[in-house]
Amino acid sequence: MGGELMKKKPKPTQMNPNWVQLQQKLNLNSKPYSRTFKKLEEDDTSKSILGKRKDRSDDESDDSEINPLVPVNDDSSLTDAVAMDCEMVGVGEGNKSALGRVTIINKWGNVIYDEFVRPLERVVDFRTFVSGIRPRDLRKAKDLWSAQKKVAELIKGRILVGHALHNDLKALLLSHPKKDIRDTSEYQPFLKSGSRRALKHLAEEILGAKIQSGEHCPVEDARAAMMLYQRNRKEWEKSIKDQVRNKKKQGKRKPKKKPKNEDASNVSQDGYESL
């Protein structure tokens, strides 16, 4: 009897028809809903992992392409061509310029020397809005003579690239052979109606790079000058060789000086020309 007795299954409770209908609707929509939710979770996760950095990269890619002034490698060796840029501060009554920072990069755009320099005279105007130099930058800066010596060593025997280099060399109290200077402010193809153009305009027009939008960065300016030179190096060097060749030809064509006593034999002692 006991073995024959089986537990009776409880009769299923009948559900309210309205509830059954609602449950069926939920089951039909459950899969797409779960997929949507999963995607939302993934989106939230990716945002939490990448954060604002991802947003910044997207913004940067929309606003501009790859910056042409960024070095293509990390080689900081001294090359046959270097570019220099200096930032000035005001001394004296403020209208006199003195060296406040000097930067030298190699042909790849990598920095090989970058130092703040303490002027010989007291600084009365840091010109921060242009130079980017602040009082704290000069507290432990190099003295002028140390910077001058180092720069002289780095540029000796090398092609020196820059914009309006005469100002930089003057501030450093240095000179450089004219044949080894490549000044982007004086290169004929860069001139406009015979007038010099600002480095900012050359960089934007030729390189597609925006510089000097606020405080100047000597590293950035030196890179712009070097890039302008590198893109025109072949033609630029050819023009230099042509100039040297033309000067040599002109030197050879100079008329010989007449001897002082050339006509003395034709003139008599009385001052009359002999017949």
CATH of the domain at 121: 3.30.420.10
Query: How many structural domains compose the chain?
Result: 1
197 belongs to a structural domain:
yes
3-class state of residue 32 by DSSP: helix
Q: How far apart are CA 274 and CA 265, in angstroms?
A: 8
> Cα–Cα distances in Å, from 100 out to 31, 103, 117, 139, 154?
68, 10, 5, 11, 18
19 belongs to a structural domain:
no
3-class state of residue 54 by DSSP: helix
235 belongs to a structural domain:
yes
176 belongs to a structural domain:
yes
Domain range for 203 is: 81-244
> Cα–Cα distances in Å, from 72 out to 65, 100, 223?
15, 29, 12
152 belongs to a structural domain:
yes
56 belongs to a structural domain:
no
Q: How far apart are CA 149 and CA 152, in angstroms?
A: 5
Q: How far apart are CA 270 and CA 275, in angstroms?
A: 13
The pLDDT tens digits along the chain (275 residues) read 554 445 555 555 555 566 666 566 555 554 444 444 444 344 444 443 333 333 444 444 444 467 889 998 999 999 999 999 999 999 999 889 999 999 999 999 999 999 999 999 999 999 999 999 999 999 999 999 999 999 999 999 999 999 999 999 999 999 999 999 999 999 999 998 889 999 999 999 999 999 998 899 999 999 999 999 999 999 999 999 988 888 888 877 766 666 666 554 454 445 444 44
266 belongs to a structural domain:
no
69 belongs to a structural domain:
no
Model pTM above 0.75: no
